[in-house]
């Protein structure tokens, strides 16, 4: 398979790629200022971010009030919708939960942060809950974003869950081919023709979910992808990820971590997660049997308990027994 075709597939594959850092700017989309009942837009470094929030119901007891607030960060072509099962469950367990659409995705503006996504998101969280330590969750591309956040400010991360994504970049990419014309125009034209309609996107989602998407899922993913400047924003973000890798394992190892993968992930093989977990002394490895690249969407009952266990242990003052040999010590979940 050619490198060009691989990239076009990745545009909607929810695969492991960097945050979007360069795109033609438009404000929060007209008519989508409140796409969900719990939606709001927040200005972060001059960029209008779409944010959704779930709070614990009623007056929480003291133990619940002490539970870490949670930030959820999505994958390529994903959005806050990707956490539709996980977010309410975490809130019901006593956590305040925030999910964001990164710039260029979902219902956020199609223009970049001035600096790194990690720095911008820490600034956002400090404004939301000053002096709080946060539990971070990243899926695929989002795993790289939250990994950068941990590397930049490990003392502010109570725990981190990497879902089907590694914050440690294993290979370099050449950005020139994605910035140069006419190749850039060809890639965008092919992506639009192939994926910005129901049938093409349905096929891509089926590959990532490990099953056909239902009508609601297809509509929820297709609608924001059709907003103006979305594909150029994704392409520019890919081309911009050529800087120094700031997320080597030594900068991540002190934070209690969960590395969770689907056994049927064809986009990013489980061996990538096994290597990550084995490099982090404070990590637990969980493989979800039968899940593909988006286990939190297809197997939430297997994903939510280990996340809650991770967060509970982080509230106990950091006592955490990770698995140093993920392939041998941790059973798969069914």
In this structure, are residues 49 and 103 in contact, taking their beta carbons and an 8 Å threshold? yes
Sheet strands (E) in 128-240: 134-139, 157-163
Per the listing, tokens 């795993």 go with 143
State which of 45-59, 191-205, 281-295 shows the largest mean pLDDT.
281-295
Minimum mean pLDDT range among 7-21, 132-146, 170-184, 288-302: 7-21
Determine the length of the chain: 334
Comparing 292 with 76, the larger pLDDT belongs to 292
Q: Give the contacts of 309 (CB within 8 A, at least 6 positions apart).
A: none
pLDDT of res. 291? 98
Using one digit for the tens of pLDDT, what is the confidence trace for 260-306?
Answer: 999 999 999 999 999 999 999 989 999 999 999 999 999 999 999 99
**Domain annotation covers residue 278:** yes
Cis ω on the peptide bond leading into residue 261 (within 30° of 0)? no
CA distance 65 to 78: 30
CB burial of 253-276 (b: ≥16 within 10 Å; e: otherwise) equals bebbbbbbbbbebebbebebbbbb
**Domain annotation covers residue 150:** yes
**Domain that residue 237 falls in:** 3-329
**Domain annotation covers residue 203:** yes
**Domain annotation covers residue 334:** no
Using one digit for the tens of pLDDT, what is the confidence trace for 121-158?
Answer: 999 999 999 989 999 999 999 999 999 999 999 999 99
CA-only gyration radius of the chain, Å: 19
**Domain annotation covers residue 296:** yes
In the chain, the number of structural domains is 1
**Domain annotation covers residue 180:** yes
**Domain annotation covers residue 267:** yes
**Domain annotation covers residue 317:** yes
Comparing 191 with 292, the larger pLDDT belongs to 292
First to last CA, the chain: 33
What is the CATH classification number for the domain harbouring 29? 3.40.50.1820
CA distance 319 to 7: 41
């Amino acid at each position: 398979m050619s490198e060009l075709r691989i990239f076009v597939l990745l545009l909607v594959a929810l695969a492991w790629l960097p945050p979007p850092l360069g795109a033609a700017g438009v404000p929060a989309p007209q008519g989508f200022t409140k796409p969900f009942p719990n939606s709001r837009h927040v200005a972060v470094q001059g960029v209008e971010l779409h944010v959704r929030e779930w709070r614990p119901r009623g007056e929480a007891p003291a133990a619940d009030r002490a539970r870490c607030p949670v930030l959820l960060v999505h994958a390529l072509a994903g959005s806050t919708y990707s956490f539709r099962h996980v977010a309410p469950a975490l809130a019901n367990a006593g956590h305040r939960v925030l999910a964001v659409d990164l710039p260029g995705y979902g219902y956020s503006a199609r223009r970049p942060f001035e600096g790194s996504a990690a720095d911008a998101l820490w600034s956002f969280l400090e404004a939301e809950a000053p002096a709080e330590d946060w539990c971070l969750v990243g899926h695929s591309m989002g795993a790289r974003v939250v990994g950068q956040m941990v590397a930049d400010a490990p003392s502010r991360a109570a725990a981190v869950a990497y879902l089907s994504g590694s914050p440690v970049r294993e290979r370099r990419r050449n950005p020139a081919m994605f910035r140069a014309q006419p190749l850039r125009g060809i890639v965008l034209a092919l992506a639009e023709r192939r994926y910005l309609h129901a049938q093409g996107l349905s096929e891509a989602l089926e590959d990532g979910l490990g099953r056909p998407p239902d009508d609601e899922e297809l509509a929820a993913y297709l609608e924001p992808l059709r907003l103006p400047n979305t594909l150029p924003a994704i392409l520019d973000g890919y081309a911009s990820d050529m800087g120094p890798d700031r997320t080597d394992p030594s900068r991540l190892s002190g934070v209690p971590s969960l590395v969770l993968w689907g056994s049927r992930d064809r986009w990013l093989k489980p061996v990538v997660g096994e290597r990550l977990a084995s490099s982090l002394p404070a990590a637990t490895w969980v493989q979800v049997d039968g899940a593909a690249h988006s286990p939190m969407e297809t197997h939430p009952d297997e994903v939510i308990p280990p996340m809650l266990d991770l967060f509970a242990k982080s509230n106990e003052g950091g006592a955490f027994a990770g698995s140093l040999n993920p392939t041998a010590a941790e059973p798969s979940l069914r």
